[in-house]
Structure 1
Amino acid sequence: MTEATTQAEPRPSRTVNQDPDAMPPLGKAIPLGIQHIMAMFAGNVTPPIIIAGVIGATTGEQIFLIQVALFVAGIATLVQTIGMGPIGARLPIVQGTSFGFLPVALPLAGSFGLAAVLGASLIAGLLQVVLGAFLKKIRHWFSPVVTGIVVLLIGITLMPVGLKYAAGGVGSPDFASPTNLGLALFVLVVTIAVHQFGRGFLKAASILVGLVSGYLVAIALGMVDFSSVADAAWFSFPKPFQYGLEFHLTAIIGMALIMFVVGLETIGNISAITIGGAGRMAKDRELSGGVMADGVATSFAAIFNTLPNTAYAQNVGLITLTGVVSRHVVTIGGILLICMGLFPKLGGLVAAMPHAVLGGAGVVMFGMIASAGLKIIKECDLNQRAMLIIAVSLSLGIGLPAVKEIAETMPGQLGLLLKSGLVPAALAALLLDAILPGKPKRELAEADETAAAAEPANPEK
């Protein structure tokens, strides 16, 4: 019996880890779905909170902006995991409000109002759908060295975010206090211990175990304020076009430029999921469908009064860490997000979680994203050409945000684009990979053949 058990145990793991269509038992799938939502929740609601401050929103308007962010993220996640015709990657992709658009959205909201930001987002989303539709023809632009650099920089960019959350969140009166840092360290230690010494489902749910453990400790220490739960309504359906739509050319150009880079992020995230989770290169239909779904989500978000949506990198780190690549797990998470958007008290319960708890888990997840980027880069031939592309891109991606004075000397939108570091790094990687001689076409052809061979016979798949 012991021998039979030993032989049978690896099979579910391989099935769930390698096949996005595999469905774990509901008793395991639901907690894993909750884990995804808890991992992305703070990042999803933070941008609307920031934009609410810029436009001078009332408390009621801020609650509304948080509600629609949750509702839209849930709908957009289902578009990715379930799909609509050619739209949707049908992979475990969690959609959420994008931080990438904030450097452009904030000054635009201050100058033109939220309606101009939403109008520009609507156009940018439609352009991204077009980009996704023609992605197969330009996929050779996105070689492993390019996508790997983008994923690596996403992780590096998010690492300080995780540490700031671990310290209690920027602006917190007890920022970097021993209590906050100790709580984050507790979550980090629990997560690592469960991941290393746990088995089966417990190992896969290590982030959730760490978050719940930290939440319970925070409650015991009196660090949790449940007033947001008490003040939230029981049920409320989000209203579309609450702030209207306005179209300004400056806003549209700025949002469209960021849209292209966010599309590149999505390509990198999809590649990280398939390589880190499913152990293969991403297929053309997955990349194309994922980028188109990103665009649909962004336009849908504009209609429902919230900022553009994108595939969430922190959840890619979670997939890489747990090895669970089932898209149905994330579908459950999308349904939970919709429920949180319709029943604000549920969202308030998660919103009450201290930032330090989320930061403890973020330290692991954001680091795993960077690791996934390194794994993608490893797929290419690291010759002098590739090393030059990596060197220039990383120097721009890491150096520019550290020297903010450079961005401040640039005019208008150009300065805003340089502040992020990711935009110039991604563009540099794309440009250098396209113009430098000696591009390894053989590797790209082999990747296409591998993706074609992996395509299932069933056309619906």
Structure 2
Amino acid sequence: MSSPPDAQTRPSRTINQNPDAMPPLSKAIPLGLQHIMAMFAGNVTPPIIIAGVIGANPAEQIFLIQVALFVAGVSTLVQTIGIGPIGARLPIVQGTSFGFLPVALPLAKAFGLPAVLGASFVAGLLQIVLGAFLKKIRHWFSPVVTGIVVLLIGITLMPVGLNYAAGGVGADDFASPGNLLLALFVLSVTIAIHQYGRGFIKASSILFGLVAGYAVAIILGKVDFTSLSNAAWFALPKPLEYGMTFSGTAIIGMTLIMFVVGLETIGNISAITTTGAGRPAKDRELSGGVMADGVATSFAAVFNTLPNTAYAQNVGLITLTGVVSRHVVTIGGLLLIAMGLFPKLGGLVAAMPPAVLGGAGVVMFGMIASAGLKIIKECELDQRNMLIIAVSLSLGIGLPAVEAISETMPGQLGLLLKSGLVPAALTALLLDAILPGKPDRRAKLAKAEAESQNR
């Protein structure tokens, strides 16, 4: 006897390789909370860092954390539920991206946060276009190009993590033994839990390290809860609180990094379908996921926070648990929205001493660099690719170390050179395009897409 016409589309109530699987709420809610635990530290760290750069007061810092949580929740729902062609409709957790920080930090210092938000808004719109035409231009971005940029993002952020571990630039007790030992404690706890933990505990090792360090800091009297007591219990996030300005320099820098972060999203979607659903990613899933990234980035700019992207740590959690239900992650997104409506939670995070955050930052930023190395490993390390890596890394690491070069450049060109990431990314793209011997990625991608459509 044949099944009803809608039997194949009705969500299942079992947890299997079907993203439409719908487990009972008794399982789905804790699983959704687990996803939030895995991404929480990474989501609130960028707004804390940007708050320090713009000299935000405690109330502004709480606000930036609040909107980061709210935006991540809404953006997650766009991915899991979808709006027309937008959204992968897969278990993707969105969050504030570290990838934009190396460019956003110098831009925020030079032009202020409104310029960063304006550039992010434009970059998000362009990413929507990128997603719509993804099939035609995907071959431009080979693993050697993507890997170099991701590696440099991690390398660029490493000094930021160490500055926080020392107590934060400008702190009276900067690099004091107390700050360094507290950061070392957080680092040690994180490593221990990551190595010996299981399941979501292992996936949330950074969060547990932060909680342990926070507790020790409270015992040592290094936490000031004044900002927490002054924070409201409930408040709706305010759009355009800082406004937007549009700088050509800022737009160029943010747009270039947006392309690379979009490729990270492609990799995360492919990892979810391959390891979780047991099949290659479909073209509509990749396109919809990248467009959702763009919508999330522009939406984040309107709500005063940095661009959003798919979180890789949650992809690892899916691999560990085998739970591929997008409805589970939808519950996680609703929990994030709820958190974003309670500024007291932001105040609790804002009171965390910089040294605690720095101990976790050493791991988080190092893992970004490690992810870049893993991507580079996908390509053949022949003389051609080694040359691309050599030139790009020399510019990406060398230019920030020799600031006199960027200072002699005319106009705002020097600002784009200052981070090193923009010239390195452009160099990698250019060399990969013009040097002879580039593998034909079009045929390989076409074959993978054909296999995906046949599933």
Q: Which residue number corresponds to residue 237 of structure 1?
A: 236
Q: What is the aligned partner in structure 2 of residue 265 from structure 1?
A: 261
> Partners in 2 of 1:241 and 1:439 — Cα distance?
45
Q: Which residue of 2 aligns with 1:310?
A: 308
Q: Name the residue aligned to 1:415.
A: 414
1:155 to 2:151 alignment: no
Say which SS state the counterpart of residue 176 (structure 1) adopts. Answer: coil
TM-score normalised to the size of structure 2?
0.81
Say if 1:317 and 1:367, in contact at 8 Å, map to a contact too.
no
8 Å Cα contact 2:127/2:258 also seen in 1:
no
1:381: how far off? 1.5
Residue pair 1:34, 1:333 contacting (<8 A) in 2 also = no
Give the letter aligned to residue 204 of structure 1: A
Q: Name the counterpart of 1:92.
A: 92
Aligned counterpart, 2:165: 166
| Counterpart code for 1:446 | K
Q: Distance in 1 between matches of 2:327 and 2:180?
A: 35
Distance 1:243 1:149, change over 3 A: closer
* 2:101 is aligned with 1:104: no
1:431-442 alignment, distance < 5 Å = 431-441=430-440
Q: Distance in 2 between matches of 1:303 and 1:202?
A: 34
Task: Tell me which residue corresponds to 2:10.
Answer: none
2:47 to 44, 48, 61: 44
User: Is 2:217 the counterpart of 1:218?
Assistant: yes
Larger displacement relative to structure 2 (209-218 or 141-150): 209-218
| Bigger Cα displacement from structure 2, 205-214 vs 75-84 | 75-84
- Contact 1:146–1:433 under 8 Å retained in 2: yes
CA contact (8 A) 1:148 1:377 kept: yes
Letter in 1 for 2:50: P
Residue 4 of structure 2 corresponds to: none
CA-to-partner distance for each residue in 1:156-195, whole Å, 9 max, x for gaps?
2222222222222222222222122212222222222222
TM-score w.r.t. the length of structure 1 is 0.80
Deviations along 1:215-248, one digit per CA (max 9) or x if unpaired, are 22122111222112100011111233445556x5
Change (3 A) 1:83 1:395: farther
- CA gap of 1:245–1:318, structure 2 versus 1, over 3 A, is closer
Aligned partner of residue 308 in structure 2, secondary structure = strand
Mean Cα deviation higher: 91-100 or 338-347? 91-100
Structure 2: 5+ residue stretches without partners = 1-14
Equivalent-residue separation in structure 1 for 2:31 and 2:268 (angstroms): 23
Aligned to 2:193: 194
Q: Is the CA contact 1:281–1:447 (under 8 Å) kept in the aligned structure 2?
A: no
Do 2:36 and 2:332's aligned partners in 1 also have CA atoms closer than 8 Å? Answer: yes
Q: Is the 8 A contact 1:167 1:176 kept in 2?
A: yes
**Match runs of 1:212-361 below 5 Å:** 212-242=211-241, 244=243, 251-252=247-248, 254-268=250-264, 270-271=266-267, 274=270, 284-304=283-303, 306-311=304-309, 315-316=311-312, 324=320, 331=330, 334-361=333-360
Report the CA distance between 1:199 and its aligned residue.
Answer: 3.0
For residues 45-194 of structure 1, what are the structure 2 equivalents within 5 Å?
45-48=48-51, 50-51=53-54, 53=55, 63-89=62-88, 90=90, 92-96=92-96, 98-99=100-101, 100-109=103-112, 114=114, 118-194=117-193
- In 2, Cα distance between the equivalents of 1:21 and 1:456? 19
Q: Distance in 1 between matches of 2:327 and 2:402?
A: 43
Shift of 1:415: 0.8
Give the structure 2 partner of residue 450 of structure 1.
448
Take 1:273 and 1:167, find their aligned partners in 2: how far apart are those partners? 37
Most deviating of 258-267 and 316-325: 316-325
Q: Using a 3 Å threshold, how does the CA distance of structure 1 residues 365 and 257 change in structure 2: closer, same or farther?
A: closer
Whole-Å Cα distance in 1 between the matches of residues 151 and 281 of structure 2? Answer: 17
Q: What is the percent sequence identity of the aligned residues?
A: 63
Distance 1:329 1:187 in 2: 30
Aligned-partner SS, 1:224? coil
Q: How much has 1:438 moved relative to structure 2?
A: 0.8
Q: Distance in 2 between matches of 1:34 and 1:237?
A: 23
Q: 1:227 to 1:59 in 2, by over 3 A?
A: closer
Instruction: Name the counterpart of 1:9.
Output: none
- CA displacement, residues 87-136 of structure 1 (integer Å, 9 cap, x when unaligned): 23445343226423343344334xxx93x665554334322322222122
Aligned-pair distance for 1:255? 1.2
Alignment coverage as a number of residue pairs: 427
Secondary structure at 1:101 match in 2: helix
Q: Which amino acid aligns with 2:438?
A: K
Q: 1:164 to 1:331 in 2, by over 3 A?
A: farther
Q: Distance in 1 between matches of 2:20 and 2:149?
A: 27
| Deviation by residue 1:356-410 (Cα, 9 ceiling, x = unmatched) | 2222222222222222222211111211111111111111111111111111111
CA distance in 2, matches of 1:117, 1:200: 37
In 1, are the aligned partners of 2:143 and 2:375 still within 8 Å (CA)? yes
Shift of 1:259: 1.4
Amino acid at match of 1:268: E
Superposition deviation, residue 268 in structure 1: 3.0
Return the alpha-carbon distance in structure 2 between the equivalents of residues 265 and 433 of structure 1.
18
